[in-house]
Structure 1
Amino acid sequence: MSTEIEKQEKDLVVSVGPTEVKLALMENHKLIEYNRESSQGHSYSVGDVFLGKVKKVMPALNAAFVDIGDTKEAFIHYLDLGLYFHSFDAFVKKSNQNCDLKQLYSSIPIGPALEKEGHIENELQVGQMLICQIVKEPISTKGSRLTAEISLAGRNIVLLPFAQKVSVSSKISSKEERKRLETLVRNILPHNYGAIIRTASEGKNAAVLVAEAKSLIEKWEDSWKQIARCKSVELLFTEYSKTTTMLRDLLNDTFTNIYVDDEKVYEETKKYISLISPEQEKIVKLYEGKEPIFDHFEVTRQIKSSFGKVVPMRQGAYLVIESTEAMNVIDVNSGTRAKTSDYEQNVFEVNKIAAEEIARQLRLRDMGGIIIVDFIDMDSQEHRNELHKYMMNLMASDRAKHNVLPLTKFGLMQITRQRIRPVTEINTQEQCPLCHGTGKVASSVVIDEQIERKLAYYVTEKGCREFTLKVSPILGAYLSRGLWNNSYLSKWKKKYKCKIKLIEDTGLSVLQYEFYDSEGELLE
């Protein structure tokens, strides 16, 4: 199964609006990930680095609450201060506008390492300033989760200020390549810097790694002036935009196209691709079609069908998804599906279809925490084991850390998935055009009186004498029933001395009607 996933083509569709940028990742034209990023003001996102101020120290929790400018105070645990917190702390306290910040940074010793069994009150005091980074976005009533161990992620390298270690991704298996990369990066990095070498760096030449390390170091050093100048709460720097973050983490040979409908974002994306993967610059394309980009690539339709409480699947099966504060619950239903007369085999097939959709939904909605899946009961232990393995294979391509447990005797599967931001929720319901959201409609007995009042208004007030009246087939039959001279339509024509053309439209609800003038314009 994993080889199938690797071979799938990927398209990234970027829709730029006046207030937000929407990103849709498609695999074989099927929506897999959906992200939105506000283009107005700042939202507190994973990777953002702040100069924060300690507001409360909680010895009982061995943690502290930190003001980073958000309405909800952020949370930092003692174990999230990092091994070399004292080095960051010394840099914040000693930095000022009159000193040479580069010399100060390189002169600060790394260590001693923070004790594992230490206490927060010995390290932080109320009012103390500290450099911190968001690792988990605000969710519900909780503020952001922070770390004081700062990292700057690039495509090939993750830069670690005030660190000494250079580690290589375990996914790079070649010993020679691991040694080459480690030696190369050690020679690139200045004093007091460490790094994590990512899988994407495999086979990259020195020039690419030098350029990336230089840009990450510049980004970190550019924040020093703010630290030295201002000892109040401030955003030091942010992660890249979600477009570039997604490209940084996901870009590989399977990406076929990146479509962008805004020229400025198109140029930014093309520039970023040319830096991290020059050979793929040609896959970035500017969309100039007349219809909205999400409609053209059928993203809108997939959003409408995928984000509801009930999610339809192939051959009549469907999921019911409920998200609560404590956990997410998914119920699998077979609908009317019956492919064979073998009940056990039918249930196994439905559960496999459901597993595919569930793996997609977890990524699409970015569901985290505890997920309980109520699969349809299966008697065969072999099928239960197979389903567990199948689910693990489907989840293998998910970037979020996760754990899939075997089915319980009640047919429940427990999944834990890293939660770093709130679940993506989109309201897929629309207001009823007939009752306008009130849940009440006018009595069908007086519908003819309503239509006549509208007709009288258009004739007397607007001066219209020729109309097209669109109605549902049921209402059309009611208005034209009886002999020609006795139907409602014939009476209205005589009474108001006007022409009325009746058109029956199956797209209208039972009592819905619309008046159009002789030019075909809808009358309000």
Structure 2
Amino acid sequence: MLTINIQAQATEKVGIIEENGEVKEFVVDRPGWEDQVGNIYQAQVSKIEKGLQAAFVDFGASRPGFLLKKELPESRKNSERKLENMLTQGQRLFVQVQKAAYGDKGAKLTANLTLPGISVIYMPFGGYVAVSKKIAEPQRSEWREKLGSILNQEEGIIIRTSAAQTDFVWVAEELNRLRQQWKEISGKAVSAKTPSCIFEDRLIPNRLLRSFEPDKVDRVVMDSADLVRKVRQDYPALAGKTEWKKDLIKELPYSVNQLFEHAIRRRVKLHKGVELYIDQTEALTAIDVNSASFTGRNSKQHTAVKANRLAAEEIARQLRLRNIAGIIIVDFINMDREEDRSDLIHYFRQHLAGDPIRTEIYGFTKLGLLEMTRKRESYSLSHLLVDNSNSGMALSASTLVYMLERDLYEASYGGAEAIVVVASYELIELFSQLLSLPELSAKLSYTLYTVTDNSLRGYQIGFAGSQEQAEVYLDGKAAESIDKHF
């Protein structure tokens, strides 16, 4: 059973994917974060590199994006034509972010724009019809013929696997909705400045919901009634599976804040004494399997095989949970037999199969280390959550503010008249900057006080209860350290 839980009341939106009651993945949509994948921009060519047959494009980010010749619709029509004959420096154009900026590399851009739906992907300048390879004949030809007949010469579509679960009328309606959406986007661009974002493809709910085939989803549960109405309207295939639970936070197997804390821990403890140590660097991720206290009763070799299987299963889970990508090196417990190593790789691949992001296992090196990669589609979770200026794995101040906001929402279910938060001056100031306090006040029914304590790096809920008791609690604090926020 697959359930998509979406916490959307708070400023930072979080999606939690459960399969049979186990958390498999969670995604975070933080305001101002540099995840621009899917966004469409009115941009300007800043430089043309003839040797690379590529252009650097100013789309409003801190670094220019990179646009290859093959990512231009004109290149598809005539692949022999040079880039410098298609674009000029200073030219304006529409671009879409394909891959987020990473490290010192700018975002990867395309001018082959796409507007994804549940059953079709609409391409305003596509010029072709493609059908998912998972749809068998004669359905493939039928879909291509029917939908191709209602496109103009410039338009294109990709018919997704989920189209096979519905009918032509519904898919045609979705196509028309996407066409109308493009009409509105391109109309907005007329008065927009250059560079500027003219379409924002939010991770939550849009990209998250589209990443699953509707027939594979059993429930979509949200804590926002407004978002439920919007999802039912925008995603009819999920309408009957979408429900509102105001106190969703109380029904989850783990709170979002607990998941955050687990996701940055270096040490992961498994059954019977097996442990993982996960170290992420700019170049690669190293995972060490430790079995010092493994409680196996069999031979040393058999014990190593069992411990490695436990580790492989959990590593597959952690890669998806933490969104670890790039080069990954795993130091499994040494196994002498080639047969055991091959069996472990096969077992590992079985557990990686459920990951929607492509992984590749290359095998064991001469030193006994397993080499693998996971496609990088966005930043890892630790990059978002952790203070990257710190050599440790401490949560950043921004992360702590959004965690505090979620705790304040959770506290509202306890019936308190007043809440007192104790935190550093820096965190209290950031709290006021990152959050809309009038909006928060309208949603929470209690009085919120903060007390400054610069000895704390994080925060504490110092008191939750009646207004009268809160005043007694605050009497023992220095007056200059107390603030009433609402």
Structure 2 residue 13 is matched with structure 1 residue 52: no
Question: Quick one: distance in 2 between partners of 1:324 and 1:64?
Answer: 30
Counterpart for residue 360 of structure 2: 403
Counterpart for residue 224 of structure 1: 186
> Residue 201 of structure 1: CA displacement?
0.8
Structure 2 residue 114 is matched with structure 1 residue 114: no
* Residue type of the alignment partner of 1:124: L
Structure 2 residue 209 is matched with structure 1 residue 247: yes
5 Å-filtered alignment, 1:121-160, equals 121-160=84-123
Counterpart for residue 278 of structure 2: 321
CA contact (8 A) 1:261 1:293 kept: no
Structure showing greater radius of gyration is: 1
CA contact (8 A) 1:305 1:312 kept: no
Q: Return the match for 2:237 from 261, 276, 279.
A: 276
Counterpart for residue 340 of structure 1: 297
Structure 2 residue 229 is matched with structure 1 residue 238: no
CA contact (8 A) 1:85 1:148 kept: no
> Residue 276 of structure 1: CA displacement?
2.7
Aligned CA distance change for structure 1 residues 347 and 13 (closer, same or farther; 3 Å): same
Q: Return the match for 1:35 from 27, 32, 35.
A: 27
5 Å-filtered alignment, 1:69-468, equals 69-79=60-70, 81-82=71-72, 84-85=73-74, 112-115=77-80, 119-172=82-135, 174-230=136-192, 232-273=194-235, 275-278=236-239, 281=240, 283-289=241-247, 292-293=249-250, 297-425=254-382, 426-427=385-386
CA contact (8 A) 1:402 1:418 kept: yes
Deviations 1:373-416 (A, max 9, x none): 11111111111111111122222222223322222232222222
User: 2:370 is paired with a residue of what secondary structure?
Assistant: strand
> Residue 228 of structure 1: CA displacement?
4.0
Question: Quick one: distance in 2 between partners of 1:430 and 1:240?
Answer: 24
> Residue 52 of structure 1: CA displacement?
0.9
> Residue 59 of structure 1: CA displacement?
3.4
Question: Quick one: distance in 2 between partners of 1:238 and 1:214?
Answer: 19
> Residue 204 of structure 1: CA displacement?
1.7
Structure 2 residue 4 is matched with structure 1 residue 12: yes
Question: Quick one: distance in 2 between partners of 1:254 and 1:229?
Answer: 41
Question: Quick one: distance in 1 between partners of 2:394 and 2:114?
Answer: 41
Question: Quick one: distance in 2 between partners of 1:277 and 1:261?
Answer: 16
CA contact (8 A) 2:112 2:126 kept: no
CA contact (8 A) 2:165 2:215 kept: no
Unaligned residue ranges in structure 2 (runs of 5+)? 387-392, 397-461, 463-468, 478-486
* Residue type of the alignment partner of 2:94: I
CA contact (8 A) 1:359 1:394 kept: yes
Question: Quick one: distance in 2 between partners of 1:230 and 1:148?
Answer: 18
* Residue type of the alignment partner of 1:46: V
Aligned CA distance change for structure 1 residues 223 and 85 (closer, same or farther; 3 Å): farther
User: 1:138 is paired with a residue of what secondary structure?
Assistant: coil
User: 2:156 is paired with a residue of what secondary structure?
Assistant: strand
> Residue 53 of structure 1: CA displacement?
0.8
Question: Quick one: distance in 1 between partners of 2:169 and 2:292?
Answer: 58
Question: Quick one: distance in 2 between partners of 1:225 and 1:254?
Answer: 36
Aligned CA distance change for structure 1 residues 338 and 297 (closer, same or farther; 3 Å): closer
* Residue type of the alignment partner of 2:218: T
CA contact (8 A) 2:123 2:155 kept: yes
User: 1:336 is paired with a residue of what secondary structure?
Assistant: coil
User: 1:125 is paired with a residue of what secondary structure?
Assistant: coil
Counterpart for residue 410 of structure 2: none
Counterpart for residue 437 of structure 2: none
> Residue 299 of structure 1: CA displacement?
4.6
Deviations 1:209-259 (A, max 9, x none): 111110111122222224444562122212254223222221444433322
Aligned CA distance change for structure 1 residues 64 and 192 (closer, same or farther; 3 Å): closer
CA contact (8 A) 2:224 2:244 kept: yes
> Residue 191 of structure 1: CA displacement?
3.0
> Residue 69 of structure 1: CA displacement?
1.0
Question: Quick one: distance in 1 between partners of 2:395 and 2:190?
Answer: 52
Question: Quick one: distance in 1 between partners of 2:164 and 2:273?
Answer: 45
How many residue pairs end up in the alignment? 395
> Residue 341 of structure 1: CA displacement?
2.5
> Residue 429 of structure 1: CA displacement?
5.3
TM-score by length of 1: 0.69
CA contact (8 A) 1:10 1:26 kept: yes
